[in-house]
A = this chain, B = another copy of it.
Amino acid sequence: MSFPNSPDQNRLLAALPVAELERLAVHLELVPMPLGESIYGPGEQLQHGYFPTTSIVSLHYVTASGASAEIAGVGNEGVVGVSLLMGGDSTPSSAVVQTAGLAYRLERRMLMEEFNRDSAIRHLLLRYTQALITQMAQTAICNRYHSVEQQLCRWLLETLDRVPSGQFVTTQELVANMLGVRRETITQSAARLQQAGVIRYRRGHIAVLDRSGLETRVCECYAVVRKELNRLLTDVQRRQEGLPAFR
């Protein structure tokens, strides 16, 4: 926060040993991420990896009939473009900016080069990939078993972790698209949460008033994903705490 815009605002970049970050710094390009912008579409060859700082990107899939649902979200804890690392270069899903903000991006070639070096960043990116896998797996479970209200709470908490202000600019329609449910269903769940004083919303804005209220209502999926992310990225703390970089 003291540095208004710094790569350190992204947890992955922040976790890199100083030497590696310096090597990258020149190539990191700070770009605006406007709401709704498409980062890539299905089958599209990625040109950059994106390290969000204040923005959130939603990885989602659009069915043949035009319906869509979020598979995973990426905020300042991660990177958009894992398929570059895996070598597939594209995915059947798409990536869209869900919350406007900023991201550092790195050209495909640079990203691959760093990744193919036996570097700290590879280690880190692979661990993040596993966290992403966990998130997807849990989304599958959540879609199978949990109520829309629980899923809404999960979505709010995950967003809150990435936008600490707790003030989100979004409509119920957009949230419904994320969760892959109808807008009316969100209206009802949101009304119940507002009734309970957990959130407050008005035309295009949602504010979280009571985080613990969300936590009591949410399903286990939220905690599972969060715990696993923290386990996998504990290295993230290292440099910041002045401990020796990992490995």
Contact = CB atoms under 8 A, between A and B. Distances in A.
Contacts of A93: 137
Contact of A130 (B59, B87, B130): B87
Contact of A136 (B64, B92, B140, B224): B140
A12 to B, nearest CB: 14
Chain A interface extent, by class: 35 or more
Interface in A122-138: 123, 126-127, 129-134, 136-138
B126 A63 contact: no
A143 B134 CA distance: 16
Interface string A55-78: 000010101100101011000000
A180 B144 contact: yes
Contacts of A143: 140, 143-144
Given A91-B134, A129-B129, A224-B92, A141 B85 contact: no
B126 A220 contact: no
A18 interface: no
Given A71-B137, A133-B86, A136-B133, A63 B180 contact: no
A138 B61 contact: yes
A139 interface: yes
A28 interface: no
